[in-house]
Amino acid sequence: MSKSYDDKAVTMPELDTVVERLCHPSSLDIVWHRPAQGAAMPSLDALREIMERLRAAIFPGYFGSTRVRRESMRYHLSANLDSIYHLLSEQIMRGFCFSCEGRKTSDPCAACENGGAAEALGFMERLPEIRRLLAGDAQAAYEGDPAATSPGETIFCYPSMHAMLHHRIAHVLYRLKVPVIPRIISEMAHSRTGIDIHPGATIGEDFFIDHGTGVVIGETCVLGRGCRLYQGVTLGALSFPKNPDGTLTKGIPRHPVLEDNVTVYAGATILGRVTIGSGAVIGGNVWITDDVPAGARISQEKPHA
C-alpha cells in the first residue's frame, strides 16, 4: 500500500528542515496568534449561515429554503431567530477571545461568554430597525434606477442591497463594540459585490449605490438621508496622522461627511474630513479635498480649444 503525501512528508529531511525554520521564533512570532483561553477562531461557515438566516428573517419570502406562509410566520421566525441568537452568541464570544490578550486558561472566561450572550441579544433587539432601514434602501433603489421594476427586484437582485444588508448588520455589531465579526461580515459583501463599506461608516436612510463596483466608503464617513453613489466612488482619507511612536492614529474622524440628498457620480474621489452640503451633486471623475456648499454642482472643467 502506498504512503500518503502526509506519510512521506514526515520522513523527508529537507522538509524537516523547513518545518524547523518555520517553527523558529524568529519566523513564527511575527505571525502567531492564539486567541485567549485557546478559544477557536471565528467561523466563516457559521457567519455565512448567520447571514443567510438573517436575510431570510429580514426579507421573508425572498430568501431561505423553506416556503413561509404569513399565517405560519411567527413559528418559522421564532425558530430562525433562536438559531441566529445561539450561533451569533458563539461567534461574538470567539470575537472577544480573538481580541483578548494575556489570559492562558483552558476555557473561555466569563467576560467573553457573558459578552457574547449580551451583545447577541442587543443585536437581536435592533432587527426591526435594521429591516426598516433596508426597506427604505430598497425603495430608494427602485426610485433611483429607471431599470428597476419593483423594490422587490432590488432586494433579490441588486448588489447595492446585498452590500447594505451586510453593512446594516455589521454596523450594529460595530456600534456594540464587537471585535472582528463586523469586519468579517463587511468583507463577505465586499468580495461578492466589489463594494467596500467599512462597518464603522454611518449611513442614513434611503441610501442607494447604482451599479456599485469599486465603491469605497471609509470607517468614519457620515452620510445623510437620501444619498446616492455611483460605481467607482471613493469616500476616503486624505492623510493618516501618526502617534509619537510612529504608529497610525486610530479612530479619529478622517473621512467625508455627506449631508442629505447628495449625489456622487461615477469615479469621483472625495478625501479627508470635508463636508458635502445638502443637495450637492458631484460629477464623475472629479477630485474633492475641500468643503462643497449645499446645492452646488461640481464637475470637470470643460476642455479648451
CATH number at 36-194: 1.10.3130.10
Burial class (CB in 10 A: 0-12, 13-18, 19+), 128: exposed
Report pLDDT digits (tens) over 200-240: 999 999 999 999 999 999 999 999 999 999 999 999 999 88
- Residues 231-281 have pLDDT tens digits of 999 999 998 888 888 888 888 999 999 999 999 999 999 999 999 999 999
User: 3-class DSSP state for residue 66?
Assistant: coil
pLDDT for 107: 56
The residue ranges of every structural domain in the chain are 36-194, 201-305
pLDDT, tens digit (0-9, with 9 covering 90-100), for 92-120: 999 998 887 645 554 557 778 888 899 99
Interacting residues of 213 by C-beta distance below 8 A, sequence separation 6+ = 159, 193, 194, 195, 231, 232
3-state secondary structure of 279: coil
Lowest mean pLDDT: which of 32-41, 152-161, 207-216? 32-41
Residues 48-87 have pLDDT tens digits of 999 999 999 999 988 877 677 888 889 889 999 999 999 9
- pLDDT > 70 fraction of the chain, expressed in percent and rounded: 91
CATH number for the domain running over 201-305: 2.160.10.10
| Strand pairing report for 257-258 and 275-276 | parallel
